[in-house]
Amino acid sequence: MIPATGIQSRRLIGIAVVVAGMLVPQSVRAETDIQSSVSGFAQSIFSLFRPKSPPPADSDLSETGGLHNSTKVFAQPGDMTPSDWTDPAEMRRAWDAAIVHVPGKNKNSIEATVSELKDGKFKFERKLPAVVYMHGCSGFWPGTHMRTKFLAENGFVVVAPASLARKKYPRSCELDSYTAGMYRHTLKMRQADAGYAIEQVRKLPFVDGDRIVLMGLSQGGITAATFKPQNKQQKVRARIIEGWTCHDSWPEYHGVSASASEPVLALVGTKDPWFRNTSQGDCQPFLNPNNGSASIVYRDEPLASRHELMEFSSPKREVVHFLRRHLGPRPGSG
């Protein structure tokens, strides 16, 4: 749920390091000792700058199975190589561990697994649209399940790949301290996982390959914004970005990579506590005004100060309206 970048956090780390370096006694300034001293002192520095708003909704969660920051055993950034980012085996792990929801009867949804999607368990009267949903930097949390379930209730096959299921995956954020951007190349892995999932969803016999949407929250929203298809099988019909401004000093995180034919819906609060300095703004400058794209900026509370927006009815309505406008009404299901 927390964005992969965060210019404010990167700058505060530098401040904490400098101040801690001045205050730690000379006798403990060996490299190994000062690292732990800086870490503790950095938390104090962050507390001074932390916005006076509720912490991320998942900050006290402990998802099992290593699919959340609280349970994942992370790789060291120095152990990563470029080949790890797009390793097919790693992308397959993210796909196999995905959260899956499909439409059920009477506007309900059914939770499933990737293997159940492929074994013929589900039969539908017609081909369905689909959403590939990308979680935030802390992995799965109850909000991930809520979003995938909500989308399935509105007629979509929804698959949310679990990037934290990769064996080699460095930590990219700290929820308690609002620290982000801890491993810059996380975005490459998230984009690879998205592309792999889109290809696999397109192969499902009951999915309409011309109606696949890429959607994400926070770091997942950055992924949805910046994703570039590597082949025709990775193309999508539309994109939805929740909790991201499309602005960053890292160029690969900046802007929107959708084609002229892809409508984009972006949702963000004006006081989102994660966006300061160069990450301020919204996605409007990067959207095509002629294809139905829209950047919705929430200026009134409580949405203005929220990072996770779809816990509220108004953003949910906007998402459903956008999807129905560009992909059609809820199809029949069985």
Does 15 have pLDDT greater than 60? no
Q: For 104, left (φ over 0), alpha (ψ -120 to 50), or beta?
A: beta
Q: Any idea what the CATH number is for the domain that residue 69 is in?
A: 3.40.50.1820
CA distance linking residue 306 with residue 51, whole number of Å: 11
Does residue 263 lie in a domain region? yes
Does 92 have pLDDT greater than 80? yes
Give the range of the structural domain holding residue 185, as residue numbers without chain letter. Answer: 7-327
Does residue 332 lie in a domain region? no
CA distance linking residue 150 with residue 293, whole number of Å: 22
Q: What is the CA radius of gyration of the chain?
A: 20
Does residue 103 lie in a domain region? yes
Does residue 334 lie in a domain region? no
Does residue 51 lie in a domain region? yes
Does residue 70 lie in a domain region? yes
CA distance linking residue 321 with residue 303, whole number of Å: 19
Q: What is the pLDDT of residue 94?
A: 97
Mean pLDDT in residue range 290-309 = 96
Mean pLDDT in residue range 27-47 = 31
Comparing 54-68, 190-204, 292-306, which segment has the lowest mean pLDDT?
A: 54-68
Q: What is the pLDDT of residue 330?
A: 62
Q: Give the residue ranges of DSSP H helices in 103-185.
A: 114-118, 142-153
Does residue 2 lie in a domain region? no
Does residue 1 lie in a domain region? no
Taking a C-beta distance cutoff of 8 angstroms, is the pair 131, 157 a contact? Answer: yes
- Exposed / middle / buried, residue 14 (Cβ in 10 Å: 0-12, 13-18, 19+): exposed
The structural domain count of the chain equals 1
